[in-house]
């Protein structure tokens, strides 16, 4: 198996974590914080992150699934079910956005601002107040890289402080995000599942995907087992897979507990009675930040 490369460095694939974006993105920062012992592998798209893990170029991948201010990252719900990968962990990252520009630029002189749509959404109020013209970009870090390359003092990027350091940009404004509690939840994916032992001091999560049968009140009935067995549902989202008919809505659910625990086991059995298909995407340890 050939080793992937980041820049000019050959990486050990079994000690590599892949992310979507360029060096200095928030996903890159999440990799460095969640797995500081691993090398990072930038990928141009979410599909490439999944492919890197599936093919063995990287042992792990890290993917954002939702932000406390901008909502869910919709692409992931379409991509994850199409793979044979497993969720093996989660990571909560506080997001710090800065306005970055070439050396010598001033806040008054900036006219155009570039960033990933999520970055722009998370700073929407401040950007509107400053009357900037905003432009969507593939990633926050790529926006910073191109602003540095253009060296145009009327153009700036919304990106992380790490991106500013990597690409030699100056910070025109710190704490650009509209909310101080701006948090992004990442999932960590791998080829093989993990099976954490439920303990008193360890909280385990189960994430699954299901499609209900086409019968009256199927969703209500399918979720009844979680209530009667005292299982806490932490996340429930519906979406229509691309090209599917409207009666084929799928549901993405995360609950607290392990499938071997009686309450979760009973809830999943009852769920199965009213579903066409139930797929467990991962059983993993919760980030301590989730319940702090």
Q: Which residues are catalytic?
A: 184, 186
In this structure, what token pair is assigned to residue 97? 């956005």
147/280 Cα distance (integer angstroms): 42
Kindly tell me the sign of the dihedral angle through the C-alpha atoms of 128, 134, 137, 142. Answer: negative
103 burial via Cβ count (<10 Å: 0-12, 13-18, 19+): exposed
Can you state the angle between helices 262-273 and 218-228, rounded to 10 degrees?
170
> What gap in Å lies between CA 135 and CA 91, rounded to an integer?
28
Q: In Å, how far from its chain's centre is CA 129? A: 28
Q: How far apart, in whole angstroms, are the C-alpha atoms of residue 204 and residue 259? A: 10
Task: Single out the residue of 208, 269, 207, 277 nearest to residue 244, CA to CA.
Answer: 277
> Which residue matches tokens 């890290």?
62
């Amino acid at each position: 198996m050939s080793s992937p490369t980041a820049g000019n460095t050959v990486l050990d694939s079994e000690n590599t974590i892949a992310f979507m974006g360029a060096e200095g993105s928030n996903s890159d920062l999440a990799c460095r914080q969640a797995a500081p012992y691993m090398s990072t592998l930038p990928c141009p798209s979410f599909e490439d992150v999944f492919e890197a893990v599936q093919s063995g170029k990287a042992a792990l991948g890290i993917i954002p699934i939702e932000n406390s201010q901008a909502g869910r990252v919709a692409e992931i719900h379409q991509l994850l079910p199409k793979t044979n990968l497993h969720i093996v962990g989660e990571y909560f990252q506080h997001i710090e956005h800065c306005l970055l520009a070439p050396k010598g630029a001033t806040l008054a002189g900036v006219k155009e601002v570039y960033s990933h749509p999520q970055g722009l959404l998370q700073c929407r109020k401040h950007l509107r107040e400053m009357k900037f013209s905003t432009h969507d970009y593939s990633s926050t870090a790529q926006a910073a890289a191109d602003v540095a390359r253009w060296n145009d003092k009327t153009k700036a990027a919304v990106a992380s402080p790490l991106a500013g350091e990597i690409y030699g940009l100056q910070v025109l404004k710190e704490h650009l995000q509209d909310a101080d509690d701006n948090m992004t939840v990442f999932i960590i994916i791998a080829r093989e599942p993990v099976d954490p032992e439920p303990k008193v001091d360890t909280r385990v999560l189960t994430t699954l995907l299901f499609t209900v049968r086409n019968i009256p009140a199927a969703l209500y009935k399918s979720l009844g087992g979680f209530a009667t067995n005292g299982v806490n549902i932490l996340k429930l989202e519906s979406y229509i897979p691309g090209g599917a008919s409207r009666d084929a809505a799928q549901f993405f659910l995360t609950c607290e507990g392990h499938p071997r625990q009686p309450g979760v086991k009973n809830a999943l059995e009852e769920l199965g009675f009213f579903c066409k298909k139930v797929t467990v995407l991962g059983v993993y340890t919760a980030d301590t930040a989730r319940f702090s």
